[in-house]
Amino acid sequence: MVTLEQFRYCPTHAINPPFCYDFHYAKPGMVAIFGDNGSGKSTLAQLMAGWYPDFLPGEIAGTGTLLGTPIGRLPLNEQAATIQLVQQSPYLQLSGCTFSVEEEVAFGPENLCLAEKEIMARIDAALTLTECQPLRHRHPATLSGGETQRVVIACAIAMQPKLLILDEAFSRLTPQASKMLLQRLQHWTLERGSLIILFERHRTPFLNYCQQAWQLQNGALQPLC
């Protein structure tokens, strides 16, 4: 599903030489990449989410494919149905143009021009998986940080992506809520045949839910398990 071979990304006006990434994972399930602040986790997550070149201007070298398509070949709007990225700051990922959680979760599927019945089914499934059903009619602006984080994940799930990137997307959740959601997402990947890649600083509790994991250090990915 994701392959990087001697893959380099050099941002526009970069001073330091680009990191060289080697990564391959082709099965449904959940894997993790761990790294400290400043290690380049978020940039790598954005590359794996297909943000180059729309939001990551610069030059690339080597081989990089996402779901069989070379990185940079498809624009973000064409990838939205198959690749989703959830980042650490949930408030920045809300659309800002809806008046309820239900409308927020519907926003993505509606832009795929799906039938109303399919949209409602996706909303119900995503809200149930993330335990956001009680928030369904709340205005997004009234949600707590943890609630907003779960809603943003629900929005990504409603798109039914084959590849879901979660970049410190559990940072505002309680340990109990994180474990619950990890368990459900683990089952979801196997049911949907999808891949989730977690980007986190700390290994606990994430390592327990992953088939494979890597440590990102000095621009290199070292296998952990």
Predicted confidence band of residue 30 (pLDDT cuts 50, 70, 90): very high
Q: What is the mean pLDDT of residues 168-191?
A: 97
Cα–Cα distance measured from residue 39 to residue 60, given in angstroms and rounded to the nearest whole number: 19
Q: Is the peptide bond prior to 90 cis by the omega test (within 30 degrees of 0)?
A: no
Encode pLDDT of 85-110 as tens digits: 999 999 999 999 999 999 999 999 99
**Dihedral (C-alpha) 65, 82, 34, 89: value to the nearest 10 degrees?**
130
Asked if 20 and 8 touch (Cβ cutoff 8 Å), the reply is yes
The answer on pLDDT for 225 being more than 80 is no
Task: Kindly state the tokens that stand for 189.
Answer: 């990947």
| Position 36 confidence tier, pLDDT thresholds 50, 70, 90 | very high
The answer, yes or no, to whether residue 200 has pLDDT greater than 90, is yes
pTM confidence score:
0.96
User: Average pLDDT, whole number, for the chain?
Assistant: 95
pLDDT of residue 218: 86
In the chain the domains, ranked by start, together with CATH numbers, are 1-82+163-225 (3.40.50.300), 93-160 (no CATH)
Query: Which residues, at least 6 apart from 113, have a Cβ–Cβ distance to it below 8 Å?
Result: none
Q: Check if the beta carbon of residue 220 is closer than 8 Å to that of residue 61.
A: no
Per-residue pLDDT tens over the stretch 62-81: 999 999 999 999 887 789 99
| Alpha-carbon distances of 67 from 93, 127, 217, rounded to whole Å | 24, 26, 25
Predicted pLDDT at 87? 97
Angle at 211 between CA 207 and CA 217, to 5 degrees: 55
